[in-house]
Amino acid sequence: MKKENIFGILRIVMGWIFLWPFLDKLFGLGYSTKSGKAWLDGVSPTAGFLKSAQGPFGNFFHSLAGNTAVDWLFMLGLLLVGSALILGIGVRIAAYSGSVMVILMWLASMPIKTNPIIDDHIVYLLVFLMLASVGAGQYLGLGNWWKKQKIVKKNSILE
């Protein structure tokens, strides 16, 4: 398989990793979010995770749990990062935004139970940085069309 196709597939997979929890938390599809516990049911999509934060940043994340602005930022982040990666548009900014999100989730997950430092959040961070650096939107996506748009030509961060 060509490396370009692997970059495209990896980008789409990472997009789905972000888009799926948005859908599950929004509608309560019964996977991580039980039916009746969805955001549309009035339940905070961040409260449970942030309230369980421990370690050196636990109190900080506890203070954010259930905050409406944090809920909106989190859900919009999942939606926009996931959609951009799946489509192959705005991959660079989506990858950088996703990197910030996974680092924050990593900090909230401290202490890590299976490894003192590395978990899936760090792997995702490295994948995001790789996707941004190789221009992964141009493979199996709309990236080639996207980067020809005037706004993208003026603002390369939008590639």
Query: What is the spatial distance between Cα 92 and Cα 36, in angstroms, rounded to a whole number?
Result: 35
Average pLDDT over residues 129-141: 94
Q: What is the mean pLDDT of residues 99-127?
A: 92
For the cut 90, the answer to whether the pLDDT of residue 124 exceeds it is: yes
pLDDT, mean of residues 3-12: 95
Start-to-end C-alpha separation, the chain: 25
* Mean pLDDT in residue range 147-156: 92
Give the pLDDT mean for 119-141.
95
* C-beta separation of 136 from 87 below 8 A: no
Mean pLDDT for the chain overall? 94
80 Cβ neighbours under 8 A, 6+ residues apart: 94, 97
Domain ranges of the chain: 3-158
Give the closest residue to 98 by CA, choosing from 27, 38, 157, 17.
17
> Could you report the per-residue pLDDT of 24-76, keeping only the tens digit for each?
999 999 999 999 999 999 999 999 999 999 989 999 999 999 999 999 999 99
Banded pLDDT at 159 (limits 50, 70, 90): confident
Question: Which of 26-35's residues contact partners 24+ apart within 8 Å by CB, and which partners?
Answer: 26/75
User: What are the tokens at 104?
Assistant: 């924050």
> How many Cβ atoms from other residues are within 10 Å of residue 49's Cβ?
16
Percent of the chain's residues with pLDDT above 70? 100
Q: How confident is the model at residue 115 (pLDDT cuts 50, 70, 90)?
A: confident
The pLDDT value given to residue 95: 97
Q: In the prediction, which pLDDT does 41 show?
A: 96
Cα torsion through 54, 58, 64, 66, rounded to 10: 30
Give the count of alpha carbons within 13 A of 40, CB side only.
11
